[in-house]
Amino acid sequence: MSGGGDDTVDLAAFPRRIHELPDRWRRERPAAPALVDFDGRELDYAALGDAVDAAERVLREAGVRGGDRVMLLNENSVATGAFLFACSRLDAWAVLLNARLAAPEVARIRDHCRPRAMVFTHLCSRDAARHGTDAGAAEVTDPGFGAVLVAGGLEAEPEPVSDDPAGQVAAMIYTSGTTGQPKGVMLTHRNVLFIAIVSGRQRALGPDDRVYAVLPISHVFGLASTFLGTVNAGGCLVLVPKFDPAHLADALAGGVTVFQGVPAMYAKLLEYLEGAGRTLEVPRLRYMSSGGAPLDLDWKRRIEARFGLALNNGYGLTEASPTVSQTRIDGRRDDDSIGPALPGLEVRIVDPEGRDVPEGEVGELWARGPNIMKGYYRDPAATAVAVTPDGWLKTGDLCRRDPDGALFLVGRAKELIIRSGFNVYPPEVETALNAHPAVTHSAVVGRRVSGNEEVIAFVEAVPGSGVDEAALKDFVKDRLAPYKRPQRIFVVDAMPASATGKVQKHRLTLLAEEMCTADEETGA
């Protein structure tokens, strides 16, 4: 069993609600820069406070009460932050959804969480505008947050409100897990504040920092670590709705001090610089990190050589708000360690029976601490499977630990695919493919490529149907978010299966590598 070192964490000194973070700086440093919106508009902490005030009024007029769920279909923007903090003021739950989700995905989540109101950040997202139109939402404008589409007064039953920050839900983020069905991860104020404060200290965040915020606030990494971590420190966030390597290069040259991304972002930045014949300029960058997907050691070294700066690594999952471990800013490593556990967090590495394995051996990583989720919304059975009665979260990921406490991610026990930092669950993709009338069966696996993973699908089709890859890709386009869509779909006569008929996905993984490599070599 291990914690994160000698660092002390005084939970009694933490704020009780997330809206207290901007409220503090509104009082103490009102003229300090807080947010730069997608259109270049810069707000200080006084203006951010005004935006939260306005968002709170909108939610009250929409009938939102304590314990209600508010769906925020969003891309990164001032409006997203304002309504997130406004929900906190009302003790409502912010249900954060990436606006790029397909309509059926949004509908399933809406039906499950039963929101009192829905808010769409349509100015920075055509996807959010489309969803808002479908929902019959009306535009509401204000100088503080700009404009949003709002559908309010929906039929909903509020959940009980708790004064305890460890009991009151701040945000709910949906993750489908291995079942393919949406599960609402309930993250309390204590959960996300723990990550914002403790993880932020590990990065030495402060008021002089200018943080490039392209990780979606609808994803827990972007929410707790980047967004709330920076606001807690009184720094300034450059809010970016969609990743563009040229924009990132300009921002780095313009004085960004902290950049947190997924490996694919670094790969695309280097590719852009090379193609544009442009020199990388990072005059103020002091900290950069990778998370959300496995980091190849070769890519880590290439990135560090180009930036002249250590690339920090970490590990987490939605149910842990998300961070479990991260490398230390004062301890540069020339390996692919995901670092030691955060201060105030316990970890175990166990065998299939839940017994601790000897140091250095591989086992499943379990974690316990103030960041572990309250549970899955309206799903106590799934919660009981994921979290033990004494509070240990079973991550489903395989790790080993060195004598110095550094953790190494060995593999994923689950079949989760991480595409550009976003979770892709094979059952979701398989369900979409299986809906095609010419498909009898499908199976989806991940394929590791430099700095990322690809989604590869295998399909058994109705004999004589003539269905091909192009037709299947077109079919799932409106059923899956872009990052969930397969990069390749192979139509096969039969899939490898065991004697009981279970598809042998380990064999499909090997086949995917073989077939993709052959196509790449022939230019197919």
CATH superfamily of the 417-522 domain: ANL, C-terminal domain (3.30.300.30)
Integer Cα distance of 134 and 125 in angstroms:
14
HEC-encoded secondary structure of 460-475 = EECCCCCCCHHHHHHH
CB atoms within 10 A of CB 141: 11
- Take residue 131 and report the two structure tokens written for it: 């969803």
pLDDT digits (tens, 9 = 90+) for 321-376: 999 999 999 888 999 999 999 999 999 999 989 999 999 998 899 999 999 999 99
Place of tokens 């959960």: 191
Identify the CA nearest to 263 among candidates 339, 325, 314.
Answer: 314
Residue ranges of the domains in the chain? 417-522
- Take residue 183 and report the two structure tokens written for it: 């599960």
Integer Cα distance of 110 and 392 in angstroms:
29
Integer Cα distance of 29 and 180 in angstroms:
46
pTM: 0.86
H helices, E strands: number in the chain: 16, 25
Identify the CA nearest to 291 among candidates 210, 246, 224.
Answer: 224
CA 304 to chain centre: 24
Please give the pLDDT value at position 51: 98
Please give the pLDDT value at position 39: 95
Please give the pLDDT value at position 271: 85
Please give the pLDDT value at position 2: 44
Identify the CA nearest to 174 among candidates 103, 239, 94.
Answer: 94
Integer Cα distance of 479 and 285 in angstroms:
40
pLDDT digits (tens, 9 = 90+) for 155-190: 999 999 999 999 999 999 998 654 557 899 999 999
Q: What are the mean pLDDT values of the chain's consecutive 10-residue runs (524 residues total)?
A: 60 97 98 97 98 98 98 98 98 97 94 98 98 98 97 97 98 74 94 98 97 96 97 98 96 98 87 93 97 78 93 95 95 91 97 94 95 98 97 94 93 76 84 89 90 93 91 95 96 76 80 90 76
CB atoms within 10 A of CB 277: 6
Please give the pLDDT value at position 332: 86
Burial class (CB in 10 A: 0-12, 13-18, 19+), 273: middle
CB atoms within 10 A of CB 201: 17
- Take residue 69 and report the two structure tokens written for it: 């769920």
Please give the pLDDT value at position 92: 98
Please give the pLDDT value at position 4: 38
Integer Cα distance of 297 and 317 in angstroms:
21
Task: Indicate the DSSP class of residue 224.
Answer: I
Nearest 5°: the CA angle 208, 243, 173 is: 85
Do 461 and 438 form a contact (C-beta atoms < 8 A)? yes
Do 106 and 130 form a contact (C-beta atoms < 8 A)? no
- Take residue 240 and report the two structure tokens written for it: 């970016």
pLDDT digits (tens, 9 = 90+) for 272-306: 998 999 999 999 999 999 987 777 787 788 899 99
Please list, residue by residue across 147-163, b when 16 or more beta carbons sit within 10 angstroms of its beta carbon and e when fewer do.
Answer: ebbbbbebebeebeebe
Burial class (CB in 10 A: 0-12, 13-18, 19+), 415: middle
Do 26 and 49 form a contact (C-beta atoms < 8 A)? yes
Integer Cα distance of 151 and 156 in angstroms:
13
Task: Indicate the DSSP class of residue 306.
Answer: H
Identify the CA nearest to 112 among candidates 382, 509, 473, 398.
Answer: 382
Per DSSP, the three-state class of 141 is: strand
Please give the pLDDT value at position 502: 64
